[in-house]
Structure 1
Amino acid sequence: MVRKMRWRNYLDFLWAMTEKEIKARYKRAVFGFLWVILNPLLQMLIIGAIFSFFIRIPNYFLFLFTGLLPWEFISLSLTKATPSIVYERSLLQKAKFPIEVIPISIILSNFFNMLISFGLFCLILIFLRRITFLSLALFVPTFIWLLLFTIGLTLLTSSLQVKYRDVSFFIQTILILWFYATPVLYSLSLIPAQIHLLFSLNPLTSIFELLHFALLNQGLIDFKIMIINILISIFIFIMGVIIFKREHKYFVDWL
């Protein structure tokens, strides 16, 4: 009974922090919550107008939108959540609470925004009869995979950031390289055979290819590579949790 109450209090606190993040993001914005769909839509139009001349992929604008939404989720989550514990140092020094809630609430707020954007996008595709409800069933395990991978990676980077303040700068550089190493702008089928395996061994590659397959009936689903990427994701998640639990008791001293 006590454990159940603790979990309930924990989830209530996590939701309160997530709700605060969602409201703070669009506070005093003229278009408010519309930016959830406007931002990736504008990116799709600009990038698509440029790269559609060089990259020949069927339904390229839809292909782009499918990749930009999850990419925006993971890049925003890593960029904002990595230094979040450092930014909330005053809160840590005033009260005792589960510290992991700080980065996880940022991830969940971004995840919520992504789900809304994908929901609207899927309604349009269903109306155009481009996807079926059966293919949408792939979304549930794919999004759970993406969420857990992001949480594990962010717990790792946010705990390291408390001790080593240049981690956030390192993350910004990595994200640029990671963007071009992930099939957001291009299809994996366009990668030369010599380096195909290098690009495939990336958890985001398998996640994005699953989304391309579900939404557009495009994408290369290699089950062997996907299993390896799932194992990589599980390893990163476990390492993130272990390192965060080991280091969090020193956070206040390091801050």
Structure 2
Amino acid sequence: MAGIFRKIKKKVARLGLDPEWDVVIRPRTGWFDINLREVWRYRDLAKLYVYRDFTVTYKQTILGPLWWLIQPLFTSGVYSIIFGGIAGIPTDGVPPLLFYVSGVVFWGYFSSCLSDTSNTFLANSGVFGKVYFPRLVVPLAAVFSDLFKFSIQFVLFLLVYFIFFLRGVPVQPNLCILLLPLLVAHMAVMGMGLGIIASSLTTKYRDLSFFMSYIIQLLMYATPIIYPFSMIPAKWRVIALLNPMVPVMEIFRYAFFGIGNFDARMVVWSICFTLVVIFLGVVVFSRVEKNFMDTI
């Protein structure tokens, strides 16, 4: 490849043109041959992808982004009736609607990051096969698109929260609320890491693309979203804590409601899991992007 570049530069020099290139695209061979600086150079492309996701998703809809508010409200209402009313699942003293809104909004961001990034190669194979740019731009853009949606839904949660707070419901917010940006970043990184690993495996094993929706649903039931962590029997709690999303949800509810567990060991495990997952995800993703067009 280097010899080809030299020949081209010599021919260009004979024509009296500038032989220096603005960008030189070289093949990557090593597992850890990752250029994150190049991803930063294409940040404008990521912004365009975010804008595209926003406009395409709600094009030709009447309510548009209002669906971001309708969905968590409707889902939380159904959960309140079925799980809170019919099944009688406790919510540790928190009003059922408020309890379920918090779970739906917070879990929704993680599941969106995971599902949207897990389809990166299959959904964008047409573009990837025609033009070069760092492929990590696409899952990063998906994470920021979902962050915009989460911001709107979080405002909805705050509105419901303050309504109940002003009505005298005994919720006990504390200084752990300051950890909210870290919790959101934690979910984004974890969801993206798991998603790009799934996307890399999907290029060869297409069955995984059909199985992802079931995996996300199973993860939701394994996380205290529709039930409090205190409801899990003591003998199963150690196994439940292996789910790295459990500490995130527990800290979130502890910060806003004063309920739940805030165990440092849980937090350390979740952070370590996330760091390992995002590292493996970026490495595997960068490795697969070199020849995925041959297998997709």
User: Cα gap change, 1:246/1:184 in structure 2, threshold over 3 Å: closer, same or farther?
Assistant: same
Distance in 1 separating the partners of 2:184 and 2:286: 25
User: Cα gap change, 1:193/1:104 in structure 2, threshold over 3 Å: closer, same or farther?
Assistant: same
Shift of 1:30: 1.2
Shift of 1:77: 3.1
CA contact (8 A) 1:103 1:158 kept: no
The percentage of aligned residue pairs carrying the same residue is 28
2:129 counterpart of 1:100 = no
* Counterpart residue number, 2:148: 112
- 1:149-203 CA-to-partner distances (Å, cap 9, x unmatched) read 1111111111111121111122222222211100000000110011111111211
RMSD: 2.3
User: Cα gap change, 1:4/1:208 in structure 2, threshold over 3 Å: closer, same or farther?
Assistant: closer
* Counterpart residue number, 1:22: 54
Tell me the matched-pair count: 254
Distance in 2 separating the partners of 1:16 and 1:133: 38
- 1:104-127 CA-to-partner distances (Å, cap 9, x unmatched) read 322221121012211232245346
2:218 counterpart of 1:182 = no
Shift of 1:8: 5.3
CA contact (8 A) 2:105 2:157 kept: no
Trace 1:42-81 onto structure 2 (pairs within 5 A): 42-53=74-85, 54-57=88-91, 58=93, 59-81=95-117
Shift of 1:87: 2.1
Higher mean C-alpha displacement, 177-186 vs 222-231:
222-231
2:203 is paired with a residue whose SS is helix
1:94 is paired with a residue whose SS is coil
Higher mean C-alpha displacement, 178-187 vs 221-230:
221-230
Distance in 2 separating the partners of 1:115 and 1:178: 23
Letter of the aligned partner of 1:108 in structure 2?
F
Which of 54, 59, 63 is residue 31 of structure 1 equivalent to?
A: 63
Q: Identify unmatched segments of 5+ residues in structure 1.
A: none
2:229 counterpart of 1:197 = no
Distance in 1 separating the partners of 2:295 and 2:80: 45
Which of 271, 276, 279 is residue 235 of structure 1 equivalent to?
A: 276
Q: Identify unmatched segments of 5+ residues in structure 2.
A: 1-22, 24-34
CA contact (8 A) 1:63 1:216 kept: no
Shift of 1:66: 0.8
CA contact (8 A) 1:73 1:110 kept: yes
TM-score, normalised to structure 1, is 0.91
Distance in 1 separating the partners of 2:188 and 2:119: 19
- 1:28-68 CA-to-partner distances (Å, cap 9, x unmatched) read 12111111111011000011111113112222211111111
TM-score, normalised to structure 2, is 0.79
CA contact (8 A) 1:79 1:168 kept: no
Shift of 1:7: 5.8
* Counterpart residue number, 2:124: 88
Between structures 1 and 2, the one with greater helix share: 1
2:186 counterpart of 1:150 = no
